[in-house]
Amino acid sequence: MPRITVNVDGSSYTDDVQPRTLLVQYLREQLGKVGTVVGCDTSNCGACTVHMDGHSVKSCSVLAVQADGHDVTTVEGLARDGQLHPMQEAFHDNHALQCGFCTPGMIMQALDLLADNPEPDDEQVREGLEGNLCRCTGYQNIVNAVQDAAQRMQPGAGPPMEQAQETSTRTHVAGGQ
């Protein structure tokens, strides 16, 4: 059984995994990162979107062994010291999370979008999120939230998010911890 080491939300994890284990399964079942949602299992909905080395990936289409040696950020890794990330705040304030099923993936994809284009117009937001589906059809509120977050995240718009994270190491061996 392969052994992987992955930095997830600032903590290093070393685990034995089955070669066929998907990253979404590893995050949820072995690490307890249940904010990463299992949606369609076909990479069509985007609910499982996380960042790997700073770029969004659909974790249902990535094997856990492919994440070996990489940095993964989940929606749980965005908040700092009990304070929501500006994107999370904007989704809350703009009622862009109706049932909440798509929210983690939308937030992670929206952050990737803003990293490439910090001031997108509505059409660019819609295009940037096109691989993520909302079951409640709350798209206009989601677009509004991304626009709001873009403003909140502009330099000088507020207190900067801390980039440094404390790290810890945990070793997990099949059959025990």
Tokens (6 digits) for 33: 């990162």
Q: Is residue 173 part of a domain?
A: no
pTM above 0.85, yes or no: yes
Q: What is the CATH number of the domain that holds 54?
A: 3.10.20.30
Judged against a pLDDT cut of 50, whether residue 160 lies above it is answered with no
Going by their DSSP bridges, the two strands 11-16 and 3-8 should be labelled as antiparallel
Percent of the chain at pLDDT exceeding 90: 80
Q: Is residue 140 part of a domain?
A: yes
Please indicate, yes or no, whether residues 64 and 8 belong to a single structural domain of this protein: yes
| Residue-level pLDDT at 175 | 40
| Residue-level pLDDT at 158 | 63
Using alpha carbons only, give the angle 12, 115, 43 rounded to the nearest 5 degrees.
70
pLDDT range class, residue 159, cuts 50, 70, 90: low
* Mean predicted confidence (pLDDT) in 129-139: 91
pLDDT range class, residue 122, cuts 50, 70, 90: very high
The tally of domains found in the chain comes to: 2
Tokens (6 digits) for 48: 């499982």
Please indicate, yes or no, whether residues 70 and 30 belong to a single structural domain of this protein: yes
pLDDT of 17-61, one tens digit each?
Answer: 999 999 999 999 999 999 999 988 788 999 999 999 999 999 999
Q: Are 2 and 65 in contact (CB under 8 A)?
A: yes
- 3-class state of residue 118 by DSSP: coil
Of 49-58, 123-132, 133-142, the one with minimum mean pLDDT is 133-142
Distance CA 50, CA 45 (A): 13
Q: How many residues in the chain?
A: 177
Q: Is residue 117 part of a domain?
A: yes
Please indicate, yes or no, whether residues 97 and 127 belong to a single structural domain of this protein: yes
Please indicate, yes or no, whether residues 38 and 68 belong to a single structural domain of this protein: yes
Of 4-8, 16-20, 112-116, 136-140, the one with minimum mean pLDDT is 136-140
Neighbours of 44 (CB within 10 A): 14
Q: Is residue 21 part of a domain?
A: yes
Distance CA 96, CA 138 (A): 6
Q: What is the DSSP string of 21-74?
A: -BHHHIIIIIT--TTS----SSSSS-TTEEEETTEEEEGGGSBGGGGTT-EEE-
| Residue-level pLDDT at 157 | 73
Q: Are 137 and 74 in contact (CB under 8 A)?
A: no
Going by their DSSP bridges, the two strands 3-8 and 71-73 should be labelled as parallel
| Residue-level pLDDT at 163 | 36
pLDDT range class, residue 176, cuts 50, 70, 90: very low
Print the domain residue range for 94. 86-152
Q: What is the CATH number of the domain that holds 94?
A: 1.10.150.120
| Residue-level pLDDT at 171 | 43
Please indicate, yes or no, whether residues 7 and 65 belong to a single structural domain of this protein: yes
Judged against a pLDDT cut of 80, whether residue 172 lies above it is answered with no
